[in-house]
Structure 1
Amino acid sequence: MKKILPLFFVFISIQTFSQIYIGANSPLYVKNEVLYVNQNIDLATNSNLYLRNNSQLVQGTTGVSNNSGTGIVSVYQEGTSDNFEYNYWCSPVGNPIASTGNTPFGISLLNRPTTSTAVVPATILPLTNYDGSASPLAIASYWIYKLTNANNYSQWVQVGGATTIAAGEGFTMKGTSGTDTSDPEGTGILNNPGTGAQRYDFRGKPNDGNITVAVGAGNAATLTGNPYPSALHLNAFLLDPSNAACTGVAYFWEQDKTVNSHYLSAYRGGYGTYSPVALGSTGLYVAATFNSYNSNGSLNTTGTSSGLIIERKYSPIGQGFLINGAANGSVTFKNSHRAFYKEGTGLSQFAKLTKDKALYTPEEKNTPVSHFKINTIINNQFTRQLALAFIPEATDGIDVGIDALNMDQSLPSDISFWLENSNYVIQGVNFELSKKIPLTVKATAGTTLKFYIPEIVNFDSSQNIYLYDELDSSYHDIKNGTYQVVIAPGVYSDRFKITFTNQTLGINEEIKSQFLIVQDNINEVLKASNPNNIAFESFVLFDILGKAVLNKSDLGVEQNYNFSTSGLSSGIYIATFLTSDNEKITQKIIISNSGKK
């Protein structure tokens, strides 16, 4: 039965209705609660539904939206960027026109609150004005862009002030400069305290029901987000079997807020990565690596990791994010993905928490995913963070909603997991003590790498974690220390591995110790004594950067081996003998030209 609300100001706490009709000039004010409507909402002309103090609207419609009327829902959200940085958004409302169903959005639907119900519409600045302001609220339309099925930077589409952003489409928007000390709700939260936390009042027809967004094969990127005036259970959306056309991973833009410039070449930012893993999981989030960009959108240099710890299981109202396509098709947001979960409660943050929101819903008790993170400091310039998760049902291949692609494929020096010919920053595996997980490293110049474990979650605290270096068959405890190494330019797909045991090779240690490798600097000869007649396949001498400078094969069985080191520069080298059983004996040597006759 349709609920008809009388013509006076109505305040409600938590309420459930089958349908709601809000008549003209009869505002409905919801404070710090959820309004659940099982079917549709009919908003008559000049009617208003106010969602205040973290209130949310949840609907139970299955299929497409049947919301109607030209009245409006009003809901607040605060950004986290000033006039120089972007937030990624997705509107919870559309244009309040007479047609039934969801309608397009434009920034003309944004307003500055002056009281809990009154607003002043935002001024939409022309494309020639790049700087938004807080008071009066003015939005720079130049920075409003959207992205659909894109593989390169040039595919961003400028929207400006047009009302053409479909429900479920995300958009970029820069924040504002200045301050606005108005406190329209009387909660102590200002419209803009001067930190970039600009409050916007979204006013329009509430989005509802199935909302379909196109995606494209080959990891094509689409900017989308939470399209509802309620929290979105992001895990439910990403892991919905009907959304198999996406990879099941969400990417969140993070930007260095100390860079006050509109020039693309000055930007420093990157994408944080969220894998949901399972419906009830808290998921895995890997922080962005901040990079700078050239004017054409290509990578310029690399910067420090953002280091933000951000909760993503529940996307708050207005939150935008990228998804990648696994196939040509579409994904669908559904009312069944919606939830009443208040922002800041512990599993939901808009970009990052910048304000204190009281009266939270009790935090869920979830068992975190068993994992640890691997940090690699590259040339003391930036940190690449990876996450290795241990999930019983995970395979060693790509698992939807678990393994997450590296969005920074063009970095000149980087490290990642290598899965099915692509680089990944999150990998899930079934734990086995004997398992070795390879890391792929690339470098365009001589590069210094420093590996360590910054975080271990829900993983056996007594379990050792090593980085294995294939070059000299060495194991390094990166759980309790670091491993620093210098590598030469190139791509190393099988040199470095994460292991859980410090394995001793099969050759008896006493026999191995009797195999002697010495450098005769006077005669410029490397000598090896083989008293136990071990059969060898090859010998390789590496310099300190990992470059092979001497290579001999088909050695067979000899009592003694001699290799000329004439012409090699003075320095430290690594001598590696490979047995016929594919085991290595390695030793560091020092070549010095000063000892030459």
Structure 2
Amino acid sequence: QTTALTYSATTNSPTTYSIVWNTSPANTFAAVTDQALQPGSVTLAIPSGTAAGTYTGTLTVKNANGCVSAGSPFSVTVNPLPQGSLTANGPFCGTSAGQLTFTASAGTGPYTIVYTENGGPNITATGIASGTGFIPFTSPINSSTTYVLVSVTDAFCTRSSGFTNGTAVITINPKPDAPVPGTVVQPTCVNPSGSITLNGLIPSVTWTIRQSNGTVQQIYTGSTPSFTVSNLAPGIYTFTVEQISSCPSLPTAGIEIFAPVTNTWNGTAWSKGSEPLITDAIRFSGNYSTTGNLNGCSCTVDPGVNVTVNSNHTLTITNAVNNNGGTLTFENNSSLLQTANAVNTGNIIYKRNTLTRRYDYTYWSSPIVRTPIFTLHDLSPGTLADKYTSYNPNASWVIHYNGNIEMIPGQGYSVRGPQYFDIVTPGTQTATFVGVPNNGTIPVALVGIEKWNLIGNPYPSAIYADQFIFDNADNLYGTLYFWTHNTTPGTGGTAPYKYNSADYAIYNITGSVLIGDMDSEGAESPGNQTAPSGYIAAGQAFFALSKTNPSAIFTNTMRVPGNNSQFFKTTANNKTNLERHRAWINLTNTEGAFKQLLVGYIEGATNSWDHNYDGISLNGNPYLDFYSINEGQNLVIQGRALPFDESDIVPLGYRSAIVGEFTIAIDHTDGVLSNHAIYLEDKVTNTVHNLQNSNYKFTTAIGTFNNRFVLRYTNGTLGVDDFQSQNNSLYASVKDKNIRLNSDVDLIKEVSIFDISGKLLYNNKKVDNNELQISNFQSGNQVLILKVTLENGKIETRKIVFN
């Protein structure tokens, strides 16, 4: 390139010129000698690659006469080419507006920019200052536009290549849809945090969720179509989602997580205007006395406040009970029922009444723990010093002098009545437990294998005995023994003593037996007259026989509301939905001796020894024992297999310390045995007597007699080939693998066939005929039991030998 060096005011007609360049700064300018002088200026050649800067030299002119002028200094400034970078802001999220920016690193602005868009024609932008955005543009969302510099011109020069950065890309990302709020779980006193489920997320694409609650933010990542944000404290939350970094969706509307509802009793009214719901946190800031059952999620008693749960009322709390310095009193027969394994704080006062005499022993278990420890002496401070005991399966009863041993939850203890109580007339003893109420899973160490352990209900509520038995099937044999604790020899009558037998009431899945109701026989003190039948009261201990596992388990799932009104036993409502056909048989005399046994045909039992269905006699009655016999065991409760087989025979035995007349009688029956003959066979007198018609009286000597009586359901021996009912109206026979049933009177409604183990081999529920023939019945050679239901509802059984 060149530049013009102008001159003026020449004299004496110069015709040529010469230029000499200074060597500093270094350059490659070429010297000029005697070049023809053009009018007004000379042309200077700027060598290619000359660095920007100012260069100096000297100009002389000469005329035709050879005369040379004095030198005239001059300078030439070489300007730099403009240089810089083209950039684009963004990426953009859900918008189409953006800008390009040229940032100069060399040159003098303003600049003229020539560029292309996506390879299109040249576009010129003029007057652009360095570092200033320019060129507003519009591009489609979810697209990328590429811009390329063609040239940059400043006040002096133009650059057409070699830019620091000559390409810029503007990206516009789509804004994702906002997440769709779904299920919102609000906090409760059980779970004080809430959760929100967000739906509508793009599956199989990694997304990021941003949670905002005021100044608190949390980020979650995942790739599922929905996501649950948990552990949310009360507050208002919004959420955005992004699949591409820095391109979030619009936020959701605010979603509020509420604090759990607290229903406060101020001494006169509830803050919600009504009694608490099971979801409410209950708070007592004023004194309160229950008028019925009360439910809540948690329970808090404020300092100085007195709360009383009255007799037969239940306070049901899902989570924790916290007494912060008030009093929370449970009167006799009331209950505290908790369902969650929460940790309680603060003491309750739990009262338990029992009728007792001075010399009566009661089996106790503690529903509380306390610091300092709650002892047997705290339980019964009026008991004689050496009458506090626990049971060691390896060493029998252990005396704890002055009752100075802590009551461990789940362990049982035997404590005699207060010394100031009467010997004959029972009085009400109120045991007052003060401590933190037990709750949650409570393991109780068992001592020994095949050993009797004294354990007890550890809760301030009743527990369901069937659930306890089933849950501890690997730990314990399934029969529970409850000491009746309220008997003593009486006086009067025709004998020196009347015998109210200090025996064990017994319960298992088959049922229960009681100790005695002798009013009809003339006894004045009938003893404890209600059999345990499904619930174990708070504070109640009992004996159970260990198997091999080291502990028994109590859990909240065993706990029930109410059913806490009798100590050692409760009402006769059994909740297990099992088929049962049972007979309770009593052995009594007129002086008050009493023993009861139970034989039941029950779902799940077999005709062999069953841990949960058979209960052995503890022989705790010093005067009398009465039992059925199976596999060498004396059983006060015996469960037998279904279906009921009227040809079944059950041997009975008894032990008597009394000479005289006794009576064997049916106490009560259920199932098919309510309307079926029940015979007692006396092998000594060769008598078969129907106990459904009347009681059976006999005379006995002192001793044990295991071969005298048999319980049966027919009055004679029946053959096995063709069994008939008592009215000879139903016939069963088998020939050539064909089974035939005929009913002369009633239609046959249903027929089931079992093997002797109780396995169902055949069932027809819609016979609706007087006759049924089952052809080519597939069975091996064995005895089969036919259970036949007639149209009138009566159930008959027949036994055949199939061969």
TM-score bracket for the superposition, by shorter chain length: 0.5 to 0.7
Mark the CA change 1:57 to 1:443 in structure 2 (over 3 Å): closer, same or farther.
closer
Structure 1 distance, partners of 2:499, 2:687, is 40
Alpha-carbon deviation of 1:94?
Answer: 1.8
Aligned match of 1:309: 530
Is the contact made by 2:516 and 2:527 (CA closer than 8 Å) also made in structure 1?
yes
Note the alpha carbon deviations across 1:19-78, whole angstroms, 9 max, x for none. 44545434444456433332333444x44222347542111234xx6334xx31012221
Aligned match of 2:515: 287
- Partner-residue secondary structure (3-state), 2:402: coil
Pick from 432, 453, 456: which aligns with 1:225? 456
Is the contact made by 2:599 and 2:638 (CA closer than 8 Å) also made in structure 1?
yes
Mark the CA change 1:493 to 1:140 in structure 2 (over 3 Å): closer, same or farther.
closer
Alpha-carbon deviation of 1:222?
Answer: 2.1
| Aligned-residue RMSD, C-alpha | 4.3
- The code of the aligned residue for 2:343 comes to N
- Partner-residue secondary structure (3-state), 1:228: coil
Structure 2 distance, partners of 1:471, 1:428, is 27
Written as runs of structure 1 = structure 2, the 5 A alignment for 1:17-56 is 17-31=296-310, 33-44=313-324, 46-52=325-331, 54-56=333-335
Alpha-carbon deviation of 1:377?
Answer: 4.5
Mark the CA change 1:438 to 1:269 in structure 2 (over 3 Å): closer, same or farther.
closer
1:350 lines up with 2:567 in the alignment? yes
Structure 1 distance, partners of 2:621, 2:332, is 43
Structure 2 distance, partners of 1:308, 1:217, is 33
Structure 1 distance, partners of 2:284, 2:486, is 47
Percent of aligned pairs sharing the same letter: 23
- Partner-residue secondary structure (3-state), 2:433: strand
Structure 2 distance, partners of 1:418, 1:363, is 27
Mark the CA change 1:362 to 1:18 in structure 2 (over 3 Å): closer, same or farther.
farther
Alpha-carbon deviation of 1:231?
Answer: 1.9
- Partner-residue secondary structure (3-state), 1:147: strand
Structure 1 distance, partners of 2:573, 2:658, is 48
Aligned match of 1:66: 343
Note the alpha carbon deviations across 1:525-578, whole angstroms, 9 max, x for none. xxxxxxxxxxxxxxxxxxxxxxxxxxxxxxxxxxxxxxxxxxxxxxxxxxxxxx
Structure 1 distance, partners of 2:412, 2:482, is 12
1:253 lines up with 2:532 in the alignment? no
Is the contact made by 2:438 and 2:460 (CA closer than 8 Å) also made in structure 1?
yes
Is the contact made by 2:507 and 2:533 (CA closer than 8 Å) also made in structure 1?
no
Mark the CA change 1:407 to 1:27 in structure 2 (over 3 Å): closer, same or farther.
same
Is the contact made by 1:390 and 1:428 (CA closer than 8 Å) also made in structure 2?
yes
Alpha-carbon deviation of 1:8?
Answer: 4.5
1:498 lines up with 2:711 in the alignment? yes
- The code of the aligned residue for 1:146 comes to S
1:86 lines up with 2:361 in the alignment? yes
Is the contact made by 1:19 and 1:37 (CA closer than 8 Å) also made in structure 2?
yes
Alpha-carbon deviation of 1:391?
Answer: 1.3
Structure 2 distance, partners of 1:420, 1:75, is 45
- Partner-residue secondary structure (3-state), 1:321: strand
- The code of the aligned residue for 2:480 comes to V
Is the contact made by 1:31 and 1:51 (CA closer than 8 Å) also made in structure 2?
yes
Structure 2 distance, partners of 1:255, 1:31, is 25
Aligned match of 2:780: none
Q: Structure 1, unaligned stretches of length 5 or more?
A: 98-103, 111-121, 125-131, 133-138, 180-193, 261-265, 291-303, 354-360, 507-597
Structure 1 distance, partners of 2:307, 2:654, is 58
Structure 1 distance, partners of 2:293, 2:621, is 50
- Partner-residue secondary structure (3-state), 1:167: coil
| Residues matched between the structures, number | 423
1:386 lines up with 2:597 in the alignment? yes
Is the contact made by 1:271 and 1:288 (CA closer than 8 Å) also made in structure 2?
no
1:162 lines up with 2:407 in the alignment? no
Alpha-carbon deviation of 1:79?
Answer: 1.5
Mark the CA change 1:341 to 1:289 in structure 2 (over 3 Å): closer, same or farther.
closer
Aligned match of 1:146: 390
Mark the CA change 1:80 to 1:246 in structure 2 (over 3 Å): closer, same or farther.
same
Structure 2 distance, partners of 1:415, 1:310, is 16
Pick from 430, 439, 442: which aligns with 1:208? 439
Structure 2 distance, partners of 1:203, 1:376, is 43
Q: Structure 2, unaligned stretches of length 5 or more?
A: 1-188, 193-280, 492-497, 519-524, 720-803
Structure 2 distance, partners of 1:217, 1:258, is 35
1:271 lines up with 2:503 in the alignment? yes
Task: Name the TM-score, length of structure 1 as normaliser.
Answer: 0.60
Alpha-carbon deviation of 1:369?
Answer: 5.0
Structure 2 distance, partners of 1:414, 1:54, is 32
Structure 1 distance, partners of 2:367, 2:648, is 46
Structure 1 distance, partners of 2:528, 2:347, is 39
Structure whose CA Rg is larger: 2
Structure 2 distance, partners of 1:424, 1:252, is 17
- Partner-residue secondary structure (3-state), 1:239: helix
Mark the CA change 1:316 to 1:472 in structure 2 (over 3 Å): closer, same or farther.
closer
Aligned match of 2:350: 75
Note the alpha carbon deviations across 1:369-425, whole angstroms, 9 max, x for none. 532222334898833321111214321122233211101079697442223332111
Mark the CA change 1:412 to 1:217 in structure 2 (over 3 Å): closer, same or farther.
farther
- Partner-residue secondary structure (3-state), 2:466: helix
- The code of the aligned residue for 1:384 comes to K
Is the contact made by 1:5 and 1:26 (CA closer than 8 Å) also made in structure 2?
no
- Partner-residue secondary structure (3-state), 2:484: strand
Aligned match of 1:464: 677
